[in-house]
Structure 1
Amino acid sequence: MRQQKLPSILLGDDEHTRLVALANAVMEKNPDVADELLSELERATVVVGKKPPPNVVRMGSTVSYRADDQERQVTLVYPGDADIEAGRISILTPIGAALIGLKAGQSIDWKARDGRTHRLTILQVVQQPD
Structure 2
Amino acid sequence: MTTSSAAVEHRRPPIHIIDTECEALTALALRIEEAQPVVADLLLTELERAELHSADTLPPHTVSMNSVIAYVDERSGTRRTVQLVYPQDADIEAGRISILTPVGAGLIGLAQGDAIDWPDREGQERSLRIVEVKPGESP
TM-score normalised according to structure 2 size: 0.86
SS in 2 for 1:65: strand
Write 1 or 2 for the structure with the bigger share of helix: 2
Matched, 1:108 2:82: no
* Matching residue's letter, 1:50: D
Report the number of matched residues: 128
Q: Is the 8 A contact 1:54 1:128 kept in 2?
A: no
Partner of 1:8: 14
Structure 1: 5+ residue stretches without partners: none
SS in 2 for 1:50: helix
TM-score normalised according to structure 1 size: 0.92
* Matching residue's letter, 2:35: K
Structure 2: 5+ residue stretches without partners: 1-8
1:62 to 63, 68, 92: 68
SS in 1 for 2:52: strand
* Matching residue's letter, 1:106: D
Per-residue deviation, residues 51-87 of structure 1 (Å, max 9, x unmatched): 5133000000001010120111000000000000100
- More displaced 10-residue stretch of structure 1: 41-50 or 72-81: 41-50
Q: What is the CA RMSD across the aligned residues, in angstroms?
A: 1.5
The 5-angstrom pairing of residues 37-48 of structure 1 reads: 37-48=43-54
Deviation at 1:49, TM superposition (A): 6.3
Residue identity (%)? 48
Q: Is the 8 A contact 1:16 1:41 kept in 2?
A: yes
SS in 2 for 1:46: strand
SS in 2 for 1:11: strand
* Matching residue's letter, 2:108: I
* Matching residue's letter, 1:11: I
